[in-house]
Amino acid sequence: MNTMNDREEKFMFFYMEQTWNEMRHLEDLRERVSVLILTIASIISGFIVQQGFSNETKIMMWFVIVLGVVGVLMVWKLFQIHQMGQKRLDKWNEYLENNCGSSPKILTLRREADLTNKKNFWIIAKIPHNVFWLIIHFFIIGIGILMLTMAKQDQSLNINKSENKTEIIVQPSKTINQTTVNSDSIIIKSKANE
């Protein structure tokens, strides 16, 4: 069994502390990004609902979907970096345990504590914590898609299908008297002289 010298031990503890702080920072960053994206998506969704899912807000609906996708990718990437730090810490813990003299129990005690925790919370312990963050962002994507399906079709294309339409035929050779028309839509046609 190898033993660590004092310099290696100091470096190891310094590096472990830095990695732990970085992992904590990544957790904070994931929370901030998620809250920011959720807030922006909520404000935009509220505006879209207030506008009655009009055709003009479709671009904003797409933006909500893009926000959700960015959130998923961000959370996934931050989790990957976090897990890289965790793997480093696991390796360093093993190295420390192997160099702590005869019969070290550091990792054995940690494993026992982890098993006790998993037994007490056996259902929820099976779900990785990253899944909950991803669900939030997939929910945002789902809201954007739902809003797109609820968006009204462009009404200007359907003007000829209107039930309350009045046709006015203008003939260039005749004079038209002033008339008041009470209708939702008016179609003006010009009839050429025959």
**What pLDDT, on a 0 to 100 scale, did the predictor assign at position 168?**
54
Mean pLDDT of 13-39: 94
| Percentage above 90 pLDDT, the chain | 52
**What pLDDT, on a 0 to 100 scale, did the predictor assign at position 132?**
92
Indicate whether 112 and 177 sit together in one domain: no
**What pLDDT, on a 0 to 100 scale, did the predictor assign at position 186?**
52
Mean pLDDT of 50-54: 92
Number of domains in the chain: 2
Q: Is the separation of the CB atoms in 67 and 147 below 8 Å?
A: no
Q: Which domain holds residue 15?
A: 6-152
Q: Higher-confidence residue: 106 or 83?
A: 83
How is residue 24 written in tokens? Answer: 């904590």
Q: What's the CA gap between 11 and 14, in Å, rounded?
A: 5
Q: Is the separation of the CB atoms in 23 and 82 below 8 Å?
A: yes
Which strand (E) or helix (H) includes residue 147?
helix 129-150
Indicate whether 143 and 170 sit together in one domain: no
Classify residue 74: in a domain, yes or no.
Answer: yes
Q: What's the CA gap between 162 and 182, in Å, rounded?
A: 14
Mean pLDDT of 85-94: 90
Classify residue 87: in a domain, yes or no.
Answer: yes
Classify residue 177: in a domain, yes or no.
Answer: yes
Does residue 175 have a pLDDT over 70? Answer: no
Indicate whether 77 and 39 sit together in one domain: yes
Which strand (E) or helix (H) includes residue 167?
strand 165-170
Indicate whether 70 and 28 sit together in one domain: yes
**What pLDDT, on a 0 to 100 scale, did the predictor assign at position 177?**
53
pTM: 0.69
Classify residue 1: in a domain, yes or no.
Answer: no
Indicate whether 116 and 182 sit together in one domain: no
**What pLDDT, on a 0 to 100 scale, did the predictor assign at position 181?**
52
The mean of the pLDDT values for the chain is 82
Indicate whether 120 and 181 sit together in one domain: no
**What pLDDT, on a 0 to 100 scale, did the predictor assign at position 106?**
77
57 by DSSP, 3-state: which? helix
Q: Higher-confidence residue: 97 or 16?
A: 16
Tell me which amino acid residue 48 is: I
Tens of pLDDT, residue by residue over 120-152, are 998 898 888 889 999 999 999 999 999 999 987
Q: Higher-confidence residue: 141 or 8?
A: 141
How is residue 171 written in tokens? Answer: 């003939």
**What pLDDT, on a 0 to 100 scale, did the predictor assign at position 143?**
96
